[in-house]
Structures are given as C-alpha cells and as structure tokens.
C-alpha cells in the first residue's frame, strides 16, 4: 500500500480529493474514511441506538459495499470491523460471525446500483434532520450552508420507514438521484458522495442546515439569485470532503486508531 493512513492529508481552500492509483489503495482509503465517518457519528452522539450506516462501494467488486458489522459501537469502529456485502445481501468478508444492519443493505445496495458515481453514502437519525423530515419539505436558502443543498436535494415522500426490502430502497435511490442529499419523510437525512468522507461531510452539514430550519421555522430566505451565488462555492463536492477533513481532525485527532 502506497498511501499513508496514519495521518490526515494536507488541506487548503482549494484542495481536492485525490483518488489513489491502485484498486487496493482505493479500497483501503474508502474503508478508512468509512471507519473515521462512523467515529465522527459516534462523537456527535449519532447512532447510539444502533440506527444508521456509513457505506463504501468496493472499487473492484463494484456491486459490493462495505458497512460496519452490526453491534459495533460507532465510536470504536475500525476498518477490521467493516463487512463486505454482496449484491444478494450476503456477507462476503468481515469479522467472524458478523451480521449487518438489514436496512443498510435494503437502502444502500439500490443507491449504489442506481448511480455508479456514488462511492459512499451516509444515513442516521439525528436531533434535527429527523424532526425536519417530518415536515416533508425541502431545505430553503436561509443560511449559508443551506445553499449547498437547495439546488441539489431530493425528497422522498414514502412512509415506509422500516425499509424492509430493496424495493423501498429503490424508491429512495430514485428520489436521491444525482443529488447530494435526500430528505426522507418522517425518517431523516441521507447523503451520497464520490467517497465515504464526502458523504459524511455532507451529512453533518445537512444536519446543521436542518437545525437552522427547526430553530428558525419562519426564517427569511435569501433571493434565488443570491442563493445561486453562494451555491457556486458551497455546493462544490470538495466542500463536503473538506468538511469531513475538518471534522475528523477535531473529533478523531489520531486517524491511526481505525487501522
């Protein structure tokens, strides 16, 4: 492996995510970002009831994805706790006796199947994303961060909150489409990105946007012209990845703990 996963890469305003040259390095990086993502969720007190999932598409077996073994606390996730799930929902690789969150397969497999550009996805139930989703309304441009999403969001209106099969996941995947975030009615937020880190960065930002909406329900929106101006910078995929980097440095200061 030619990449160093014991430290975070340097970042600047215009730093872009760089894909490794080899399949093995890409897999290692995606798993590392997913494990860091779970730890971020744990540090933010997301997923304390076992709800939620961060997933990473395998770069070689592209119809397979990696997800945390069921029962592992998010705050202690490592790359060794991730399980590889095949297109039929069976575990192909992972810790002995590992099981997975069934909803993770039912939701994430259809997302990866529907959109080949998605390499990572994130979903969990949060203090503001879930209550905002009960309104079944999209985000409005009432904060700077919200402009990242107002022109790039999906809304799933189904009330099948359990998502007991992949048919439900296919409906969610259709609502997500090519967007970076989908608001799942009465359920919460779901994000996708070109890496697990990007998806996690977008998710935490979307949760903060939901907080603004919940706390300022009558907030005055900026004009569409002004929102588009902000979105030109705030909507760039690099913003999601850099947000993940900032969060990781603060909440998981030693990235080697997941290796």
Radius of gyration of the chain (CA): 17
> Could you report the per-residue pLDDT of 147-167, keeping only the tens digit for each?
999 999 999 999 999 999 999
Task: Name the E strands within the chain.
Answer: 53-57, 65-68, 82-85, 91-93, 120-124, 153-156, 181-184, 188-193
> Could you report the per-residue pLDDT of 240-257, keeping only the tens digit for each?
999 999 999 999 999 999
Averaged pLDDT score across all residues of the chain:
96
% of the chain surpassing 70 pLDDT: 100
How many angstroms separate the CA atoms of 69 and 253, rounded? 23
- pLDDT, average across residues 97-105: 95
How many angstroms separate the CA atoms of 69 and 63, rounded? 18
User: Coil, strand or helix: which one is 225?
Assistant: helix
| pLDDT of 185 over the 70 cut | yes
Which are the contacts of 254, defined by CB distance < 8 A and separation ≥ 6? none
- CATH of the domain spanning 23-252, picked from 3.40.50.970, 3.20.10.10, 3.40.225.10, 3.40.50.300: 3.40.225.10
DSSP 220: P
How many angstroms separate the CA atoms of 56 and 33, rounded? 8
Domain ranges within the chain, ordered by starting residue:
23-252
Q: What is the pLDDT of residue 1?
A: 59
- Per the CB < 8 A criterion, the answer to whether 143 and 212 are in contact is yes
- pLDDT, average across residues 215-231: 97
Q: What is the pLDDT of residue 237?
A: 85
| pLDDT of 15 over the 90 cut | no
> Could you report the per-residue pLDDT of 55-78, keeping only the tens digit for each?
999 999 999 999 999 999 999 999
């Amino acid at each position: 492996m030619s990449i160093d996963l014991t430290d975070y890469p340097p970042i600047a305003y215009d730093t872009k995510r760089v894909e490794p040259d080899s399949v093995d390095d890409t897999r290692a990086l995606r798993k590392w970002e997913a494990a860091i993502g779970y730890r971020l969720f744990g540090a933010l007190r997301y997923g304390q009831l076992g709800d939620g999932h961060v997933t990473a598409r395998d770069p070689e077996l592209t119809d397979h994805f990696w997800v945390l073994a069921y029962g592992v606390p998010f705050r202690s996730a490592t790359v060794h706790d991730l399980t590889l799930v095949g297109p039929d929902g069976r575990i192909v690789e992972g810790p002995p006796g590992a099981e997975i969150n069934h909803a993770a397969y039912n939701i994430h497999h259809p997302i990866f199947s529907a959109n080949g550009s998605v390499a990572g996805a994130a979903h969990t139930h949060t203090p503001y994303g879930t209550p905002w989703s009960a309104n079944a309304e999209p985000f409005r441009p009432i904060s700077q961060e919200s402009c990242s999403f107002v022109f790039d969001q999906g809304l799933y209106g189904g009330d099948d909150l359990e998502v007991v099969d992949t048919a439900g996941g296919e409906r969610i995947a259709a609502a997500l489409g090519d967007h970076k975030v989908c608001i799942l009615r009465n359920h919460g937020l779901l994000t996708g990105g070109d890496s697990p880190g990007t998806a996690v960065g977008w998710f935490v930002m979307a949760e903060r946007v939901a907080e603004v909406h919940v706390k300022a329900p009558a907030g005055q929106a900026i004009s569409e012209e002004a929102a588009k101006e902000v979105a030109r910078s705030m909507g760039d995929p690099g913003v999601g990845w850099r947000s993940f980097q900032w969060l990781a440095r603060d909440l998981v200061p030693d990235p080697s703990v997941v290796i």
